[in-house]
């Protein structure tokens, strides 16, 4: 699951970068304090679900519901949280 979360996080960062620019997107990732990025490597410093939740929340705080929709679309593509 952790590898899949890392993939989702990378895709969310890419999608958000396309909208707000990579500097801003990476600043939002760093603001979570639970995800670090070194090159193409993502390190999750908490549970994968918590990291994903904090990442989505960090974009929502600045960009609102539209950014949450972008994140949701990435997550849905992976069917990670199927019921």
Q: What pLDDT, on the 0 to 100 scale, is given for residue 83?
A: 46
Structure pTM? 0.87
Task: Give the DSSP per-residue string, the chain.
Answer: -HHHHHHHHHHHHHHHHHHH-HHHHHHHHHHTSSEEEETTEEEESS-HHHHHHHHHHHHHHHHTHHHHHHHHHHHHHHTTT--
Residue 5 in this model has a pLDDT that exceeds 50: yes
The confidence band for 4, taking pLDDT boundaries of 50, 70 and 90, is: confident
Burial tier of 1 (Cβ tally within 10 Å: 0-12, 13-18, 19+): exposed
* Domain layout of the chain by residue ranges: 2-75
Which one has a higher pLDDT value, 62 or 80? 62
pLDDT in tens, 10-67: 999 999 999 999 999 999 999 999 999 988 889 999 999 899 999 999 999 999 999 9
3: number of Cβ within 10 Å:
9
């Amino acid at each position: 699951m952790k590898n899949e979360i890392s993939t989702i996080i990378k895709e969310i960062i890419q999608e958000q970068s396309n909208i707000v620019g990579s500097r801003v997107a990476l600043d939002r990732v760093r603001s979570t304090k639970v995800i670090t990025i070194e090159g193409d490597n993502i390190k999750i410093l908490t549970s994968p679900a918590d990291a994903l939740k904090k990442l989505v929340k960090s974009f929502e705080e600045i960009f609102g519901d539209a950014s949450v929709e972008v994140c949701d679309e990435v997550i849905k593509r992976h069917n990670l949280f199927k019921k």
